[in-house]
């Protein structure tokens, strides 16, 4: 990136990405459980010759497009995960994905090592994210 980011800014970007990632996973789960994306005909509407059957179902298209964009976003993050080093993924998983305890790192690292690894992990994550998104899209997460 042309602009050098501080650790707080990197942390804010990655937190927003993972908040969106978790939300997208839940939304896809909801859409898969509550919407049938296969074409189907409601015979009651056909017999009644109602207007809602004659015009295209826009809500179906909206949900389908939303599902596709969510799957695309999740695919990007999963692709980034597949390229991360083991140490970086371990850190990301404990710090952002499965965050239950803020002191999870105490048995593994000293404070200095924790921050050094955090810098390296966030740089690596954002570096791979730049392969899929533009700098403007990444920096827009700071707002």
pLDDT of residue 142: 85
Q: Choose between 63 and 118: higher pLDDT.
A: 118
User: How confident is the model over 10-61, as pLDDT tens digits?
Assistant: 999 999 999 999 999 999 888 888 766 555 555 565 555 555 554 556 666 7
pLDDT of residue 63: 76
pLDDT of residue 57: 61
- Around Cβ 70, how many Cβ atoms within 10 Å? 19
User: How confident is the model over 87-117, as pLDDT tens digits?
Assistant: 999 999 999 998 888 899 999 999 999 999 9
Q: Among the residues of the chain, which ranges form H helices?
A: 7-34, 43-48, 51-54, 58-83, 86-92, 111-129, 135-139
Cα–Cα dist 133/69, whole Å: 14
pLDDT band at 86 (very low <50, low <70, confident <90, very high): very high
What are phi and psi for residue 119, nearest 5 degrees? -55, -50
């Amino acid at each position: 990136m042309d602009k050098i980011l501080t650790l707080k800014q990197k942390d804010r970007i990655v937190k927003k990405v993972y908040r969106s990632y978790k939300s997208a996973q839940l939304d896809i789960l909801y859409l898969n459980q509550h919407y049938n994306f296969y074409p189907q005909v409601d015979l009651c509407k056909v017999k009644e010759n109602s207007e809602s059957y004659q015009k295209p179902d826009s809500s179906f298209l909206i949900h389908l497009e939303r599902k596709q964009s969510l799957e695309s976003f999740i695919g990007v993050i999963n692709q980034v995960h597949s390229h991360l080093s083991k140490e970086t993924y371990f850190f990301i998983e404990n710090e952002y994905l499965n965050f239950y305890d803020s002191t999870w790192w105490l048995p593994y690292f000293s404070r200095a090592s924790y921050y050094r690894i955090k810098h390296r992990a966030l740089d690596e994550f954002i570096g791979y994210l730049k392969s899929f998104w533009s700098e403007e899209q990444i920096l827009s997460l700071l707002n």
